[in-house]
Structure 1
């Protein structure tokens, strides 16, 4: 279950959850973008995680990713897409809910955002361990665009996800996943459904 942040109470819960992780890991907390689309991950009435999507504006001083260890806007195919590129930021889930199946909510939020905004690229700096989990456990196709960024004890990997390539590949592999079980199969179903809807 997830919740689109639309009220002051939603935003307060988002900030409380995210800023706990910033304090614990000594991360810099980027400002909350006025044009950001934020979601709370929920377990009943408890906010257990967060994720934020921000329209990517090349060379913008308010970007959460540009100019750190990788200038994403120098990649022509990304820079030319205009409003169809989104930054992914402030992604976290409380420790007691990790490795307990709640990560699927991120996939549901991703599907919701893709359906609403029809992105071409997602861009992000993500923790190295998280990058490996997405690649190995969920089969997400990501391109590493530069050297990792060290933020205190955390190594952050600059990545891009080209949504169309991602969905096309998973659509092609879907037939081979019919007998599969577990979370990866669920991801394939979501992505395939989105791709069919997008082409209609």
Structure 2
């Protein structure tokens, strides 16, 4: 389950969780865009994760651009309706319990709401390998690089409709999506664009 960040208290918990994750991974807490759409992952009435989505327009307002120069990459230039994914985290005590499916559902719903065509992100090499193992159509746009002495980052782009179609083809993701009434309404509304199969 998840909720949109709307209140001051929601923002407090979002920043607390993301701050803890940054401290654990020795990441810099970057805040270049002041109008993101933020979501909290909820389990048993506790906040356990974060994800943020932002329209990618100018490099100066991009959190992802802080880590990698997307604006200079030939595979990004010319793309339309690009959104960046950032601040994706799951609390240490909640990892390895299938929570990523909920985060993916948030991204599924958000993409349909804003009619995103592409997502860009810097993901950890481990996350990249995990998504590739699921057959997810995530495209690296450059070589991996050291974020710090513990983490390797991979700059990627994701074609939203290919990603949504692939997610829906995997039973464990489809079950979560089908369990969300808002996601189902968005699928119905966009049915001409999405070829979803079981």
Deviation at 1:46, TM superposition (A): 1.0
Counterparts of 1:195 and 1:90, CA distance in 2: 26
**One of 128, 131, 146 as aligned partner of 1:134:** 131
Q: How many residues align?
A: 188
Q: Which runs of 5+ in 1 are unaligned?
A: none
Q: Which runs of 5+ in 2 are unaligned?
A: 193-198
2:88 is aligned to 91
Change in Cα spacing, 1:90 to 1:99, as seen in structure 2 (3 Å) is same
Deviation at 1:115, TM superposition (A): 2.2
**One of 116, 122, 146 as aligned partner of 1:150:** 146
Residue aligned with 1:34, SS: coil
Question: Deviation per CA, 1:30-75, whole angstroms, max 9, x where unpaired?
Answer: 11622200000001321100000011014x2121222644434533
2:195 is aligned to none
- TM-score of the aligned structures, taking structure 2 as reference length: 0.82
1:75 is aligned to 74
Counterparts of 1:3 and 1:26, CA distance in 2: 27
Supply the RMSD in Å over aligned alpha carbons.
Answer: 2.8
Question: Deviation per CA, 1:173-198, whole angstroms, max 9, x where unpaired?
Answer: 94xx7xxxx52554786999866532
Counterparts of 1:192 and 1:75, CA distance in 2: 35
Change in Cα spacing, 1:187 to 1:144, as seen in structure 2 (3 Å) is farther
Counterparts of 1:132 and 1:74, CA distance in 2: 22
Residue aligned with 1:92, SS: strand
Q: Does the CA contact (< 8 Å) of 2:73 and 2:141 recur in 1?
A: no
- TM-score of the aligned structures, taking structure 1 as reference length: 0.81
Question: Deviation per CA, 1:108-149, whole angstroms, max 9, x where unpaired?
Answer: 211220221110000000011111112213x32011001222
Counterparts of 2:23 and 2:121, CA distance in 1: 20
Residue aligned with 1:88, SS: strand
Counterparts of 1:70 and 1:55, CA distance in 2: 16
